[in-house]
Amino acid sequence: MEVIPAIDLLNRQCVRLYQGDFSRVTVYATDPLELARRYRDAGLHRLHVVDLDGARTGSPQNMDLITAMASQVGVAVQAGGGLRDIDRALALRAAGADRVVVGSVAAEAPDMALQWLDRLGPEHLVLAFDVRVTRNEDPAVLTRGWVKDSGNSLWALLERFCARGARHFLCTDIAQDGTLSGPNLDLYRECTRRFPAAAVIASGGVGSLADLQQLAVTGAAAVVTGKALLDGRLTLEEIESFSRAA
């Protein structure tokens, strides 16, 4: 299972939001490019970059930082935030992003996202779904800062996109995001059981090395972790040892 550090950008600073809430933001006194270099030097090959300025305004704002991470730092970057049309997605690829992450469009306008899939190709598109898990119901996919129900279940969307050849799916349990309280192992186990060909990227709740070890058993292809690394709950040495063991 690949471990992908997250760098969330807001006002050109590294930040973390608690459960996606812009009013509950933690700012870290770390230069984004320096942080990217630190992760690269630790042997990590991919970063998950979220342009929160773009997510809030609907237009990407940090293309230059993404370009610098890809070209100067030399890591593969999967990036998203504020992508509402294919031209912006293609511009992000041109800026150096190896993978483009699309969320709201994929959940609210699947037909449009399928066109993106055709244009970008399955290896360069990550379909991101933020889900609310309720007992005895299919996981509901939320959008627009988790305040709008897309009307689609996670299972229905995964089935539709997998049938068209999509491969990479980022799945976040919103109840766990930013909490460090542990990931929803049942959710990822069910994702991989239902869709064994999908490369599921887990997100939300990782707070320790033990969480990574438990996630790996679910069959998840990768995990995105941000706050645990920034707060020192999870060290680069632990990730390195986990990678060797994996």
CB 198 within 8 A of CB 192: yes
Please say if 138 is a catalytic residue: no
Mention every residue, 6+ apart, whose C-beta is less than 8 A from residue 94. Answer: none
The answer to whether the beta carbons of residues 157 and 109 sit under 8 Å apart is no
Token pair belonging to 179 = 């909490």
Number of other CB atoms surrounding residue 95 within 10 Å? 20
Task: Name the nearest CA neighbour of 184 among 203, 197, 170, 210.
Answer: 203
Handedness of CA 178, 180, 181, 182 (dihedral sign): positive
H or E segment at 242? Answer: helix 236-245
DSSP lists the bridge partners of residue 46 as: 76
- Among residues 89, 145, 131, 96, the alpha carbon closest in space to that of 113 is found at 89
Dist. CA 100–CA 221, nearest whole Å: 17
Q: Which member of 130, 173, 177, 211 is catalytic?
A: 130
Catalytic residue among 8, 51, 177, 211: 8
DSSP secondary structure letter of residue 95: T
In the annotation, is 41 catalytic? no
Instruction: Give the whole-angstrom CA distance, residue 56 versus residue 22.
Output: 9
Residues 169, 196: Cα–Cα separation, whole Å: 12
Q: Which residues are catalytic, by number? A: 8, 130
